[in-house]
């Protein structure tokens, strides 16, 4: 039977202590103990199910973490105040001074900056490779390599990482594989394909409303427990806590994620095919000519489509800017960073979400200065959206 992350979420039984169909929001920073010994046991990690302090665990956050673990097929999960908090906490928990990371050069700009500019402060070195070139990945591994880091669908070039092959390389070298699945929730289940840790920006598709920032780390119980350990847990000690009010709203939104991903995908493939018809240089992994099309089909949960992310190349940032301004004025969507919103969002990646990547590196990785990244919305009349875009292109 095919893996169905939506069914796993549907089968969760989560309700409030007074019978409310939505779990209650625990609006408390600290928790009462009826016996002093229980507090001592909780500090020492010997009182499972007891809550100590909301920087450690909060019941509302636990509901959302359980839903993320159910979706990913992991034993456990931990939610954070942002996607970058999830990425940085996971990596810092796994690495010590003197360790080494192999990562995709094509990655979100904030992640690139953390890996390139911030980790050297801790004497953690990073090798950037073309993640699609498995020989380069193998060659980059050193005796002190701790992990391989990649994105399922890379930002913004929309490469598809061969997670099973990368997992095999990692296991052969006794290292871990960490995968950011922000672009492809439900579409791909990296943990089931061999990833050890899966990270998310919940800000994007999972929440879908662009009304908060949040993140998640999904892994086995041992790793999540280590993250939240009161003595040396990175998440516990750095404190990137998600507010329980936001946890509650994201939890409700996650129950419609399967419907939204299907519509994002349906609209995106329609636009991609139309863009191709009118002669635009278009990049969408759901098109048969995309170099990773067959790989994507092999690793995906097919009922959710190929995702809502498209890129087109207008060669220069000047042309890209003119088109984006025209599209916003015409009502296509918004000239804005981020993704996964119910409205279409578009930005010139080299000057926005990938601006942390030096221009020479952008050229090496094949990022055109005229690349526009689209996060295609939930438009009911996508045909009309295309006509608006076509008019903008004519202008």
Identify the domain containing residue 319 by its residue range.
Answer: 258-394
Residues 197 and 269 in one domain: no
DSSP code per residue over 266-330: HHHHHHHHHHHHTT-EEE-TTSTTSTTHHHHHHHB-GGG-S-SEEEEE-SSHHHHHHHHHHHHHH
User: What is the model's pLDDT at position 274?
Assistant: 98
Q: What is the pLDDT of residue 358?
A: 78
What's the token pair of residue 190? 């990296």
Are 248 and 317 contained in the same domain? Answer: no
Q: Do 245 and 270 sit in the same domain of this protein?
A: no
Confidence (pTM): 0.95
Q: Are strands 100-104 and 125-129 parallel, antiparallel or unpaired?
A: parallel
Q: What is the pLDDT of residue 357?
A: 79
Task: Determine the pLDDT at residue 377.
Answer: 98
Domain count, the chain: 2
Question: Residue 146 and residue 149: Cα distance in Å, rounded?
Answer: 10
Mean pLDDT rounded to a whole number for the chain: 95
In the block, tokens 């390389």 appear at: 169
Predicted confidence at residue 299, as pLDDT, reads: 98
Last residue of one domain, picked from the residues 217, 235, 254: 254
Answer yes or no: do 227 and 288 share one domain: no
pLDDT over threshold 80, residue 264: yes
Is the pLDDT confidence value at 1 over 60?
no
Pair 390, 342 in one domain: yes
Torsion of CA 236, 113, 216, 51, to 10 degrees: 10
pLDDT at 257 over 60: yes
Two tokens, residue 278: 């009118």
The residue from 202, 225, 254 where one domain ends is: 254
Residue 360 has pLDDT above 90, yes or no: no
What confidence tier does 47 reach under pLDDT thresholds 50, 70, 90?
A: confident
Of 194, 220, 254, which marks where a domain is finished?
254
- Do 29 and 53 form a contact (C-beta atoms < 8 A)? yes
Q: Is the pLDDT of residue 183 over 90?
A: yes
**DSSP states along 184-211:** -TTTB-GGGGT-SEEEEETTTTTT-SSS
The residue behind tokens 């993640």 is 131
Q: How far apart are the first and last CA of the chain?
A: 50
Range from 6-15, 77-86, 297-306 carrying the lowest mean pLDDT: 6-15
In the predicted model, is pLDDT for residue 83 greater than 80?
yes
Do 241 and 263 lie in one domain? The reply is: no
48 and 151 assigned to the same domain: yes
Instruction: Say if residues 54 and 45 touch (Cβ distance below 8 Å).
Output: no
Find the mean pLDDT for residues 190-216: 98
96-100, 148-152, 270-274, 365-369: which range is least confident on average? 365-369
Pick the range with the lowest mean pLDDT from 203-217, 234-248, 296-310, 349-363. 349-363
Q: What is the CATH number of the domain that holds 87?
A: 3.40.640.10
- Counting residues of the chain whose pLDDT is more than 90, the rounded percentage is 89
On whether both 314 and 334 belong to a single domain, the answer is yes
Lowest mean pLDDT among 10-14, 47-51, 93-97, 263-267: 47-51
- Crossing angle (nearest 10°) for helices 317-330 and 382-394: 130
230 and 311 inside one domain: no
Statement to judge: residues 46 and 165 lie in one domain: yes
The residue written with tokens 């509650």 in the block is 248
Are residues 311 and 197 both part of a single domain?
no
Q: Are residues 67 and 149 in the same domain?
A: yes
CATH number at residue 330: 3.90.1150.10
Reading the block at residue 141, the tokens are 């591994």
């Amino acid at each position: 039977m095919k893996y169905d992350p939506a069914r796993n979420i549907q089968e969760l039984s989560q309700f409030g202590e007074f019978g409310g169909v939505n779990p209650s929001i625990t609006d408390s920073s600290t928790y009462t103990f009826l016996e002093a010994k229980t507090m001592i046991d909780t500090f020492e990690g010997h009182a499972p199910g007891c809550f100590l302090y909301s920087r450690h665990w909060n019941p509302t956050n636990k509901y959302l973490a359980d839903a993320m673990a159910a979706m990913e097929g992991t034993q456990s999960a931990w939610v954070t105040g942002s996607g970058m908090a999830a990425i940085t906490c996971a990596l810092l928990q796994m690495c010590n001074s003197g360790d080494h990371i192999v990562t995709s050069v094509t990655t979100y700009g904030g992640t690139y900056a953390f890996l390139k500019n911030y980790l050297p402060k801790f004497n953690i070195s990073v090798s950037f490779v073309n993640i699609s070139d498995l020989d380069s990945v193998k060659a980059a591994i050193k005796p002190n390599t701790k992990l391989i880091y990649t994105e399922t669908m890379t930002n913004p070039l929309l490469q598809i990482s061969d997670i099973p092959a990368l997992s095999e390389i990692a296991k052969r070298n006794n290292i871990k594989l960490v995968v950011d699945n922000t672009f492809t929730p439900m579409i791909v289940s990296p943990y089931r394909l061999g990833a050890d840790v899966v990270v998310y920006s919940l800000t994007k598709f999972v929440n879908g409303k662009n009304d908060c920032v949040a993140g998640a780390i999904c892994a086995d119980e041992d790793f999540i427990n280590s993250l939240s350990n009161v003595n040396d847990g990175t998440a516990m000690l750095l404190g990137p806590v998600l507010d329980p009010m936001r946890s509650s709203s994201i939890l409700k939104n996650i129950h419609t994620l399967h419907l939204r991903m299907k519509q994002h995908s349906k609209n995106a493939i329609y636009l991609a095919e139309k863009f191709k018809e009118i002669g635009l240089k278009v990049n969408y992994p759901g098109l048969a000519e995309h170099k990773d099309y067959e790989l994507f089909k092999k690793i995906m949960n097919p009922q959710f489509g190929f995702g809502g992310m498209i890129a087109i190349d207008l060669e220069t940032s000047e042309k890209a800017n003119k088109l984006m301004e025209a599209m916003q004025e015409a009502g296509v969507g918004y000239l804005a960073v981020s993704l996964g919103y119910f409205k279409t969002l578009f930005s010139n990646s080299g000057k926005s979400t990938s601006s942390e990547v030096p221009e020479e590196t952008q050229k090496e990785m094949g990022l055109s200065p005229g690349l526009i990244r689209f996060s295609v919305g939930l438009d009911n009349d996508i045909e009309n959206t295309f006509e608006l875009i076509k008019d903008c292109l004519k202008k």
